[in-house]
Structure 1
Amino acid sequence: MISSAVLPDGCTVRAPAPTDAEGIFDLISAYNTTVVGFADCALDDIAERIVEPGFDAGNDGWLVLAADGLPVGYGYAFDKGGGGDVEVDMISQDPAVASWLYDRTMGRAREIGREGGHAQITVDVFAYRADEGLRDLLSGHDFVSGTTYRRMRIDHTGPVAAAVLPPGVVVRRGMYDDESRRRAHDLIVECFRGQFGFVPRPHEDWLAFREASSLFAWSQLCLLEIDGKAVAFRDSCDMSLETANCGHIAGLGVLEEYRGRGLAKFLLYDAFALDAAAGRDGTILLVDTNNPTRALELYLSVGMTPSLTYDGWRRVLPVD
């Protein structure tokens, strides 16, 4: 696909490099502040995405620079697993730059589909509900909102009591060997299978991502077992540490046949107690409000409150 949009005079484009992380951070911080009132991004997260396993910066990323050399736009297309699902994003306060990045990311998404031998691809974009410019751009190109996410938070103003473990349940904290990591990954895939936007990574890719990330640690991955079977998990990380001094639950799930036994509540209360003991101001997570497990009701019931709203936008299109 050849871009039909034109960049403003004086702009140049190149692939992002690890040394660009701070410039991209400044760009995204300013953009987010305009949209939601605060920066809402972490430098480590941006830096790691540029070198994330599976992301080819030379083909999959675009950094738009103004005549003074400062970033004015950033976009990427990321193959989520080789199955014809691609995540794209385009960030710029200049509508002309955003439109150009839209064309480039969508063109690359089609290329990824062709390279994978797919007749069509599914393209996902994750956007703030308050981002009217991006919402108008996406809806004007036949994207539809597939689901809504809410950021949930609970504040910790003092010590939090230790969670009470349900009878017959064993806690496994930290995944330090190949077998436990395989069990954890298989459980995560089973719990999230079929949910909007979830594409399981091959196990080796999942391992490589976690090993390369400074935000995720094997010590923060927790499993619950019943009769020797892993049935529930919590995956915490440091994603909200820099921006909010909060713990962050990146994933929480319970196998369907084991729901309703208080396992998810234990994992939440346990995270709250650990975060409070570590001096965190609160605990944050993101929930798909259309989750078939009625997760939003669970988080509200344990005292978490919603703040930011996001939409998952999707378009399915032929690669030719």
Structure 2
Amino acid sequence: MQIRAAMMNDLTALTELFQAIELVEIGRAETNKADIRHILITPELDLERRSCVYEKDGDIIGFAALHFAPHADQFRAHLGVSPVAPDSLADALLRQIEEWAQKQTATAGRERESVTLFQMPQALATPALQDHGWHVVRRYSRLIIDLNGERPSLLQLPAGTEIRIAACDDDRRRLHAVLEEALSGHWNHHRRTFEEFWADQQQRDGHDPSLWWIAEVEGTPAAVLIARSQPNRGWIAWLGTEQRYRGRGLARCLLLTAFAELKARGHHMVGVDVDSANDTNATGVYEAAGMRVLGQADQWQRDINIS
């Protein structure tokens, strides 16, 4: 086998790798090129130093990468092992991820750090993950909506309520403030300044400030949504409602507004990933707007200790 760093030219081959894994694990291929491109262009990922692919007879049969997670003070890893790869490959890739994480943790002068990665429930890599001391900390659901199908009608907004685009810097700062308050209770949320948040959003695939919306109640920002127009699909990146304004249908109205705009831009499908254990019933909010659960993924975690 040949081992080398991953490259943008691997986009098609890596997509085929993850689709082959999904066909065995869940019976259908979900990953598309936009998903893989999102990984490869992650601003925090140094492809040359912290990614690798294993090739055999010209085909990629294994992939691993490590970078700082965009929303939290931890590492995010990516792992893909072909169903036809030898059993030892998952072990080798996990050892590489852990070695990268140890070096980065030591370089940062920390004694302990955590790494997370996502795998389908009952993933082929589960035995290797367990052998290496990883454990499941959360389960996420992916929901989608077919924009060509029938969708719930837009709710009548209460008097004094308005939905508008966050059209200027001040608006985007207000949007960020609402999002921070709405997400403050999430188990893995770490506060960021607006400047940090804005710099991160500008790097994201499909970034477009004209897809940032604010729902205001009596002139006060109450709920917000950020969508992205990615290749082959629309995506809901962020959605949040301040606690005191929940239960008024603002999130659903924002979603339906986003769906209408994304359909007008030529999209036929919109997706979102949601924490299945979210205590605000986020999955129910998306389902009320016409989305359905397509599948789930487990978030695995391993603590890295520097002795």
Fold match by TM threshold 0.5: yes
Which amino acid in structure 2 is aligned with residue 22 of structure 1? Answer: T
Q: How many residues align?
A: 303
CA distance in 2, matches of 1:55, 1:140: 26
CA distance in 2, matches of 1:14, 1:176: 44
1:153 to 1:168, Cα distance in 2 relative to 1, 3 A: same
CA distance in 2, matches of 1:45, 1:307: 15
Q: How does 1:1-320 map to 2 (within 5 A)?
A: 11-66=1-56, 68-80=57-69, 84-93=73-82, 94=85, 95-131=87-123, 133-155=124-146, 156-157=148-149, 161-173=153-165, 175-199=166-190, 203-239=194-230, 242=232, 247-278=234-265, 280-320=267-307
Q: Give the C-alpha shift of residue 109 in structure 1.
A: 1.5
* Corresponding residue number in structure 2 for 1:3: none
1:154 to 1:214, Cα distance in 2 relative to 1, 3 A: closer
1:34 to 1:216, Cα distance in 2 relative to 1, 3 A: farther
- Check conservation: 1:81, 1:202, Cα contact below 8 A: no
1:151 to 1:39, Cα distance in 2 relative to 1, 3 A: same
1:128 to 1:226, Cα distance in 2 relative to 1, 3 A: same
CA distance in 2, matches of 1:319, 1:142: 15
Q: Give the C-alpha shift of residue 278 in structure 1.
A: 5.0
1:152 to 1:45, Cα distance in 2 relative to 1, 3 A: closer
Q: TM-score, normalised by structure 1?
A: 0.82
Q: Alignment partner of 2:252: what SS?
A: helix
- Check conservation: 1:76, 1:89, Cα contact below 8 A: yes
CA distance in 1, matches of 2:139, 2:71: 25
Q: Alignment partner of 2:127: what SS?
A: helix
* Corresponding residue number in structure 2 for 1:8: none
1:82 to 1:306, Cα distance in 2 relative to 1, 3 A: closer
Q: Alignment partner of 1:238: what SS?
A: strand
Give unmatched runs, 5+ long, in structure 1.
1-10
Q: Alignment partner of 1:75: what SS?
A: strand
1:115 to 1:193, Cα distance in 2 relative to 1, 3 A: farther
Q: TM-score, normalised by structure 2?
A: 0.85
Which amino acid in structure 1 is aligned with residue 79 of structure 2? Answer: M
1:194 to 1:118, Cα distance in 2 relative to 1, 3 A: farther
Which amino acid in structure 1 is aligned with residue 228 of structure 2? Answer: C
Give unmatched runs, 5+ long, in structure 2.
none
Percentage identity across paired residues of the two chains? 24
1:202 to 1:54, Cα distance in 2 relative to 1, 3 A: farther
1:178 to 1:164, Cα distance in 2 relative to 1, 3 A: same
CA distance in 2, matches of 1:81, 1:282: 25
> How well do the aligned residues superpose, as a CA RMSD in angstroms?
2.8
